[in-house]
Amino acid sequence: MSETDRKPPQEWHNCGTHSGYRGHRQRGETACDPCLNANTEYYKIWRANNKERYREIAYSWGKRNPEKVRSNMRNVCRRRRARKLSVESEPYTQDLIVELYGAICHICLEEIDLTAPQHPMGGEGWEKGLQLDHVLPLSKGGNDKIENIRPAHVKCNILKGNKPLAQPEITFPVN
């Protein structure tokens, strides 16, 4: 069940505890703030007391979900870069950008191969792979928000560098 499908929390006797958090989840509710805080604190203590077990769990999850690990790392690096440059940022994923703007390179207007490597060291065919490009680069005052991000080929994005496009070739509709 996703967070958007959950019912609002109902106040009950265990609110503000880890078991209160579990009760909200079992009843299909969104957990209240005191229960969220209690659950966060519970797992901080658990991780501190079970470092080796936590490491095993995290390692096995990473082995089972390599694409999620790569995606998370890309997002962490992107957010850190935006913070360092003190620019506005909002969460987004590659899937969201492709869904909004399509799999067409905004620089050369050709189709992007979504199965191709996303980095020059990734192997054959990397040139036509997907990278997300800041239309107005962060270094030139652009922000890290959805309206400033477009899909681009890896090679086109590398060649563009930190230069803004003089005239965007095409404007993509935002749904």
pLDDT one-digit tens code per residue, 142-156: 999 999 999 999 999
Segments of the chain with pLDDT less than 50: 168-175
Residue 97 has a pLDDT of 93
Look at the alpha carbons of 42, 43, 44, 49 in this order and tell me if their dihedral is positive or negative: positive
* pTM of the entire predicted model: 0.63
Could you tell me the two tokens for 124?
Answer: 């054959």
- Domain extents for the chain? 9-64, 89-160
Residue 175 has a pLDDT of 37
- Rounded Cα–Cα distance for residues 83 and 143 (Å): 11
R_g (Cα) of the chain, nearest Å: 21
Strand partners, 111: 104
